[in-house]
């Protein structure tokens, strides 16, 4: 049966997106009655009906390219900035889908994209998603496109930071992405030989961190690498945030809710800027000169690792099989060596953080890494 496929990439870019687009496109073009178009810049391109034909020539030479040939954005169908207003543009997107006579829209993205894709599925579109995020925080899939590459980059960064930390007898606090999950920091921290790893799942105590560093000094190791996930909180900060969240949940009037929401936002913003304060505190508690390195978007850039290329290709081709079977409303998830279709309602709005009994935490502790508590 003839199939018209639309693809979009949304949310933060990540290595392996092009490999996924290529896999879907190449596999689909094997069928004489399938055709594929891409929408530019995520859900905004869907709203504005900005398309690109994905044929042999556009799909050629993109396997090793970072980013996404389609472009991306963080725009949401229900809260789209349009001419100084925030509007629900869902209907416009449904219109584009009809205009292009699509049979299915494939959305490749992370947590935000899955919420938006589920919304479009509930609005009547045939949707399939592919998991993409360097944060590895999507529920119901073992891993996501981009995570392995980012893990490699962050690990190499920690390797390289060792030279300066060691030569100058310094503490280097290195911030690693991950949104509100510690997968990237924990993985890169262990693989890169960090001495302390702080993750959002475990609020830290600065005294415990300082003690771990002082203990290293006593053993003659006058340098330390502290790998910090970007969403991390100290125990005190976690308690303040929790209180604000509870207040928000209990708020009754619209005004109270607005104030409480603003308070939570303010605390989160302040907390995201506390890295230099932590570094100064460690310096004064340990007597070791300290520096901060923020890896930032370097972690998402450049060519995808072989693992990500394989994952993207595997998920992309499985996606085409699902389209052939007309199995819609699902995410194409990686489970061990297998690929499985998971209903979108089991993914949308859920976040996969590190369980406190995860074996990697135990592994870290067993080799003497401090987790700050």
Output the smallest distance, CB 8 to ligand F6P, in A. 17
Binding mask 267-306 for ligand F6P (x = CB under 6 A): ---------------------------------x------
Query: Which residues is 65 bridged to in the sheet?
Result: none
Q: CB nearer to ligand F6P: give 115 or 216.
A: 115
Count of C-beta atoms within a 10 Å radius of residue 148: 23
Output the smallest distance, CB 179 to ligand F6P, in A. 4
Q: Look-up: residue for tokens 């907390």?
A: 271
Among 134, 153, 228, 330, binds ligand F6P (CB under 6 A): 134
Q: CB nearer to ligand F6P: give 59 or 331.
A: 331
Q: Look-up: residue for tokens 């079977």?
A: 325
Q: CB nearer to ligand F6P: give 16 or 329.
A: 16
For residues 333 and 336, give the distance between their C-alpha atoms in angstroms, rounded to a whole number.
Answer: 10
For ligand F6P, the binding residues in 2-21 under the rule CB under 6 A are: 12
φ/ψ region of 352 (left if φ > 0, alpha if ψ in -120 to 50, else beta) reads: beta
Buried b (16+ CB within 10 A) or exposed e, 308-337: bbebbbbbbbbbbebbeeeebbbbbbbeee
Q: Which two tokens stand for residue 85?
A: 């207003």
Rule CB under 6 A: say whether 144 interacts with ligand F6P: no
Among 177, 225, 334, 369, binds ligand F6P (CB under 6 A): 177
Q: Any idea which residues carry the catalytic annotation?
A: 135
Output the smallest distance, CB 300 to ligand F6P, in A. 6
For residues 364 and 159, give the distance between their C-alpha atoms in angstroms, rounded to a whole number.
Answer: 17
User: Segment near ligand F6P (CB under 6 A), from 38-46, 171-179, 191-199, 360-368?
Assistant: 171-179
Find the farthest-apart pair of alpha carbons in the chain and give their distance in angstroms, rounded.
72
For ligand F6P, the binding residues in 306-345 under the rule CB under 6 A are: none
Residue 359: burial class (beta carbons within 10 Å; 0-12, 13-18, 19+) = exposed
Closest-by-Cβ residue to ligand F6P is: 177
Size of interface with ligand F6P, in residues (CB under 6 A): 10
The DSSP element (H or E) to which 263 belongs, if any, is helix 254-271
Q: CB nearer to ligand F6P: give 3 or 179.
A: 179
Count of C-beta atoms within a 10 Å radius of residue 47: 22
91 near 114, Cβ under 8 Å?
Answer: no
Q: CB nearer to ligand F6P: give 103 or 135.
A: 135
Binding residues (CB under 6 A) for ligand F6P: these are: 12, 110, 133-135, 177-179, 230, 300
């Amino acid at each position: 049966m003839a199939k018209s496929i639309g693809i979009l990439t949304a949310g933060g870019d990540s290595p392996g997106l092009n490999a996924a687009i290529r896999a879907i496109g190449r596999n689909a073009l094997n069928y004489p009655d399938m055709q594929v178009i891409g929408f530019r810049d995520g859900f905004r391109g869907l709203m504005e009906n900005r398309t690109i034909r994905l044929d042999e020539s556009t799909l050629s030479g993109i396997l090793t390219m970072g980013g996404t040939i389609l472009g991306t954005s963080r725009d949401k169908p229900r809260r789209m900035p349009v001419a100084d207003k925030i509007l629900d543009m869902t209907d416009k997107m449904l219109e584009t889908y009809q205009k292009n006579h699509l049979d299915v829209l494939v959305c490749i993205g992370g947590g935000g994209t899955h919420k938006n894709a589920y919304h479009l599925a509930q609005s009547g579109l045939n949707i399939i998603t592919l998991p993409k995020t360097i944060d590895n925080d999507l529920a119901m899939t073992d891993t996501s496109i981009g995570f392995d590459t980012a893990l490699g980059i962050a690990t190499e960064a920690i390797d390289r930071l060792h030279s300066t930390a060691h030569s100058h007898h310094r503490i280097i606090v290195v911030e690693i992405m991950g949104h509100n999950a510690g997968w990237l920091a924990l993985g890169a921290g262990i693989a890169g030989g960090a001495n302390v790893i702080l993750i959002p799942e475990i609020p830290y105590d600065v005294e415990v961190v300082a003690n771990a560093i002082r203990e290293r000094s006593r053993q003659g190791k006058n340098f330390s690498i502290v790998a910090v996930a970007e969403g991390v909180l100290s125990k005190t900060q976690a308690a303040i945030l929790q209180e604000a969240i509870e207040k928000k949940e209990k708020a009754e009037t619209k005004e109270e809710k607005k104030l409480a929401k603003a308070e939570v936002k303010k605390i989160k913003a302040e907390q995201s800027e506390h890295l230099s304060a932590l570094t100064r505190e460690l310096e004064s508690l340990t007597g070791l000169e300290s520096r901060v390195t923020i890896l930032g978007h370097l972690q998402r850039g450049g060519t995808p690792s072989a693992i990500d290329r394989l994952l993207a290709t595997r998920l992309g081709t499985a996606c085409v099989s699902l389209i052939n079977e007309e199995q819609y409303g699902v995410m194409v998830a990686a489970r061990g060596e297998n690929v499985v279709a998971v209903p979108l309602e089991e993914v949308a709005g859920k976040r996969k953080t590190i369980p406190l009994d995860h074996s990697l935490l135990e592994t870290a502790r067993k080799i003497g890494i401090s987790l700050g508590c």
